[in-house]
Structure 1
Amino acid sequence: MEERAAVTALDGLMERNCSLIQKIEQDLARLTLALDQTIVEPDTMSFFSYPEQEDTESADRVIHLLNQSDPSSVNLDEAKAEHLLSLTNSMLLLICSQTPLIKKLLKSCQSSRSISTFNHYNLTLLASIPSKNVKHVSPDSSEVHLDPETAHPKLVISPQGDSAAYIDTWQQLPDQPLRFDTTLNVISLEGFSFGRHYWEIDVTGKTYWELGITYPSIPRKGTSEHCWLGRGAESWCVEFFDGEYTAWHGGVPHQLAFTKRFCRIGVLCSFPAGLVTFLEAEKMTPLFSFSAGIFSECLHLALCPGHDHNGNNAKPIIICNASFHKSDL
């Protein structure tokens, strides 16, 4: 019943939005006709100085509607933001419990052709910061490989770039500007700036790990807390430590109500929706979702296999889909 009510409400909103769009198009058509029939001075404000009262009112109404739809005019206090995140998690849990096909839909994001259709306006809103070590791939690919030039010197990256393991020896590696020198992090070579992307990471046998997504601008040098995943505004992550799961972003922890040691974690990010979701991959159980809004940079997969944790955390952290694709649905 809640689902039907939500769908009905969304349908109503879509109808109202369509009606507003039609009104705007009609107003713009009238204004265009007025411009064609009138000699317009170079001053841009003369556009709104047309003597007919009807056209002036139409211009004011268009500007008012555009201002109302400006994302920067939307303000959410902390309580409302937390409530929206709670509703998002509840909806994901409902969908997973009622729709067996959700697993196939999420798995399809691993395929060589992600399902994504975006118009010109979406693409102009999404920006990415170029870097010589960032490979910007097409929106129909979710394959990633770890970039060894970003890895902390105590991490061993596999030749295929699909796993990272901690060793208690500082390797003599070049001090690259992009290398993490304090936190045990490594990020993907590829960066993504549009589309929907999904990865699964194998954490079997591990007692400490962090994984998530990050902007390339995450701090990498020194002891600042922002170098850790989720501690700054540049990254989002889920951490497992001492049997507890915690979601992090902006230095704010969210304790998760899970105690089972999961073997495989899914990470789903979506442009331009600004959604970051972590799941238990076997049963597609949502762990936590972040509503990030419009991403300001490209995104990279980020991993931290953790230290030895009293000798119990030697196994590597593995990207399950780093070197293969699944077929389209």
Structure 2
Amino acid sequence: MEERAAVAALDGLMERNCSLIQEIEQDLARLSVAMDQNDTEPDTMSFFSFPEQQDIESVDRVVHVLNRTDPISVSLDEVKADQILSLTNNMLLLICSQTPIIKKLYKSYSSEVCLDPETAHPKLIVSSDGDSATYTDTWQQLPDLPGRFDTTLNVISSQGYSFGRHYWEIDVTGKTYWELGVTYPTISRKGTTEDCWLGRGDESWCVEFFDGEYTAWHGGVPHQLPLTKRFCRIGVFCNFPAGLVTFLEADNMTPLFSFCAGTFSDCLHLALCPGHDHNGTNSKPIVICNAASHTSDLGLAPQKSF
């Protein structure tokens, strides 16, 4: 109900703004015509001084908006500046105080997963308990299964989830290149097509870290993130009722990026790419930090992923 009320309020505001913009465009069009008809410089204010009450009201509204948004018209004395600084600090303290609550909420949706070695690229070593993947220069002689990635350095979880809310944390400490996210089991596995990469097709959502830059991907569309700090642990949250995929910095629960898919058409698997060696700087494994499994609201679909 709150969401519908907020959307209705925004719709009304947008409608009023569109109406104001149309009136401004009409005034500008008339001004342009007047300028074309006069060789001398036109009197702009006299152009706006129409006898019609509607035009006068439009001019007043435009001037009012311009005055409110003019930075020069904003003056802060020392007392006001201190008040704003105090309010800002209090807001930051409030946000920080909520971090443990937010972390507890997300962790309540933790779901255990393990990586499926039958999907791992031959240059990935999956741990025996399926909680980590490490890049190796050696091409392992593994069966060429239909579900195995043969070009991209990907591996996905054995478990797929089809409803509910789910949260995972992935340790990327010491790594300079990685990709992680969620994917449908229908993601392409073979060949050099871009759809095999996480986030490059419509079947997957991911965040990528490469050369100090973070990028969120879905449908082949990159979203550059204004972040430079190298994080150690990334949270991935998917919400089936809301059709939402959210990535967070897991220590302080700082939001990184969210995708609103609307409705998921298939079950979702956790997907990881530890990346290549990256000139010897990316040898660390990518590790799933499994929390205690919850039996409620899991929506587990324990089928094979391909």
Is 1:317 matched with 2:286? yes
The offset of 1:146, in angstroms, is: 0.3
Amino acid at match of 1:110: K
Deviation at 1:187, TM superposition (A): 0.3
* Pairing partner for 2:98 from 76, 82, 101: 101
Aligned equivalent of 1:191, options 153, 160, 165: 160
Rounded to whole Å, the distance in 2 between the matches of 1:281 and 1:301 is 16
Alpha carbons 2:215, 2:223 under 8 Å: kept:
yes
Structure 1 unaligned regions, length at least 5? 1-5, 14-93, 115-140
Which residue of 2 is the match for residue 205 of structure 1?
Answer: 174
CA–CA distance in structure 1, aligned partners of residues 134 and 153 of structure 2: 10
Note if 1:181 corresponds to 2:177.
Answer: no
Of 248, 253, 258, 1:284 maps to: 253
Tell me the percent identity: 72
- Write the distance in 2 (CA, Å) between the matches of 1:96 and 1:302: 35
Letter in 1 for 2:230: R
Report what 1:148 is aligned to: 117
Cα distance in 1 between the residues matched to 2:155 and 2:264? 21
Residue in structure 1 matched with residue 299 of structure 2 by the alignment: none
Deviations 1:73-99 (A, max 9, x none): xxxxxxxxxxxxxxxxxxxxx999637
- Contact residue 272 and residue 295 of structure 1 kept, 8 A: no
Provide the TM-score with structure 1 as the length reference.
0.61
Which residue is equivalent to 1:29? none
Distance 1:303 1:101 in 2: 30
2-side partners of 1:193 and 1:95: how far apart? 37
**Matched residue type, 1:107:** K
Aligned partners of 2:92 and 2:146: how far apart in 1?
A: 44
Deviations 1:134-157, CA, capped at 9 Å, x for gaps: xxxxxxx71100000000000000
Counterpart selection for 1:299 from 268, 273, 277? 268
How far is the alpha carbon of 1:104 from its aligned partner?
3.1
Q: Which letter maps to 2:159?
A: E
CA distance in 2, matches of 1:96, 1:231: 39
TM-score by length of 2: 0.65
How do residues 15-94 of structure 1 correspond to structure 2 at under 5 angstroms?
none
Q: Secondary structure at the match of 2:129?
A: coil
Q: 1:281 to 1:177 in 2, by over 3 A?
A: same
Q: 1:165 Cα shift? A: 0.3
**Counterpart amino acid of residue 191 in structure 1:** G
Q: Is the 8 A contact 2:209 2:215 kept in 1?
A: yes
In structure 1, give the amino acid aligned to 2:138: T
Please, which of 158, 181, 185 is the counterpart of residue 127 of structure 2?
A: 158
In 1, Cα distance between the equivalents of 2:92 and 2:275? 33
CA distance in 1, matches of 2:92, 2:205: 23
Aligned Cα RMSD in Å? 2.6
**Is residue 250 of structure 1 aligned with residue 219 of structure 2?**
yes
Alignment correspondent of 1:9: 5
Distance 1:242 1:224 in 2: 23
- CA displacement at 1:11 relative to structure 2: 10
Structure whose alpha-carbon radius of gyration is higher: 2
TM-superposed CA distance for 1:12, in Å, is: 7.8
Amino acid across the alignment from 2:223: H
- What is the CA–CA distance in structure 1 between the aligned matches of 2:128 and 2:228, rounded to whole Å? 34
The residue matched to 2:118 in structure 1 has which SS?
Answer: helix
1:42 matched residue in structure 2: none
Number of residues of Structure 1 aligned to a counterpart in Structure 2: 214
The CA deviation at 1:7 is 6.9
CA–CA separation in structure 1 for the residues paired with 2:184 and 2:124: 20
List gaps (5 residues or longer) in structure 2: 10-90, 297-306
> What secondary structure, in the 3-state scheme, does the structure 1 residue paired with 2:97 have?
coil
